[in-house]
Amino acid sequence: MGEFTANIAAYFESDKPKMAVTHKQKPLDYVPYGLVVTKSWLLAQGLSRHTLDNWVKSGQLASIVYGVYQRPDTQLTWQGVVSSLQRMGSDLRPGGLTALTYQGLGHYLELGNQKTIHLYGLDSLPVWLNKLLPHVTFVRHNEAQLLGRNHQNGLDALKDFETKMPTDMALSFGDVMASSPERAWFEVLLDVPEKISFEHADQLMQGLVNLSPKRLNKLLALCQNVKVRRLFLWFAERHRHAWFEKIDTESYTWKSGLLGSGKRGLAKGGKLDPKYLITVPEAMQEEKKYGQE
């Protein structure tokens, strides 16, 4: 009888409504060390305004600019800021000169404390981004310039050309995804010669000896920017690294239409390259090409 009575009691007990077991929310669950979050993102995670206000009033969260928070003990770096953006859903990532530099392939080191971080993607820079770190300037570049009008499919394909960027492992924030060296080189060429000189690009290319020809061929096919295609082939032919022999140069002819049409004046006062019909610095055009006798 005792066992039967116990089973009946257990049966009726199971019909009683249960109180949900909830995990007590803590700032650490939402704001890891080294990262920042926005108020809108926290609210989207289901936090109430009351909870957020209590965390700030109790000193568990610090407001650094309007609508942006971090843990009080955080040492904020530009990598942490970019990791935060990516964690909150932004498609911006370090590319171009920044990606090459922090993967050990940059030619120049910025002097002094001031840094310029080049971010590529379709998303806009948040208005608060350049208010966080006084010695860092974030510059946004529109990745669609590489891909032409029908860029969405191309952007999806470009995700295959991302890599985890080395960061300060003393910090506990997540990975920072950046452009691969191959993709970063195409991004650099977007800014030649308006913001990056031919000479600077040439010095960068000297160090790009270990690029993947398979990746380069895929990017060359994805790229719809005629200027970038011509510059890529001109620099590649000029330096003739080992990977150049595996580049599908035969597909990029004037007859194919993949190089566009007409001459492109790029270097002011430069000399026309007769093969790719771009003006380049005269001294570079007259020099003996690297890798050739």
Tell me the three-class secondary structure of the chain, residue by residue: CHHHHHHHHHHHHHCCCCCCCCCCCCHHHHCCCCCEEEHHHHHHCCCCHHHHHHHHHCCCCEEEECCEEECCCCCCCHHHHHHHHHHCCCCCEECHHHHHHCCCCCCCCCCCCCEEEEEEECCCCCCCHHHCCCCEEEEEEECHHHHCCCHHHHHHHHHHHEEECCCCCCCCCCCCEEECHHHHHHHHHHCCCCCCCHHHHHHHHHCCCCCCHHHHHHHHHHCCCHHHHHHHHHHHHHHCCHHHHHCCHHHCCCCCCCCCCCCECCCCCCEEECCCCEEECHHHHHCCCCCCC
Same domain, 66 and 144: no
Note whether residue 103 is domain-resident.
Answer: yes
Judgement on whether residues 83 and 71 belong to the same structural domain of the protein: no
Residue 3 in any domain: the answer is no
> Is there a domain that residue 44 lies in?
yes
Is 10 inside any structural domain?
no
Which domain covers residue 64, as residue numbers? 22-76
Domain assignment present for residue 33? The answer is yes
Whether 83 and 68 share a structural domain: no
In this structure, the answer to whether residues 64 and 85 fall within a common structural domain is no
Residue 117 lies in a domain: yes
> Do 196 and 103 belong together in one domain?
yes
Residues 62 and 186 in one domain: no
Is residue 48 located within the same domain as residue 96?
no
Per-residue pLDDT of the chain (293 residues; tens, 9 = 90+): 444 334 333 433 444 433 333 446 788 788 888 899 999 999 999 999 999 999 999 999 999 999 999 999 888 999 999 999 999 999 999 999 999 998 999 876 666 678 999 999 989 999 999 999 999 999 999 988 998 766 666 777 888 999 998 765 445 566 899 999 999 999 999 999 999 999 999 999 999 999 999 999 999 999 999 999 999 999 999 999 999 999 999 999 999 999 999 999 999 999 999 999 999 999 998 775 554 44
Q: What is the number of domains present in the chain?
A: 2
Domain assignment present for residue 289? The answer is no
- The pTM of this model reads 0.86
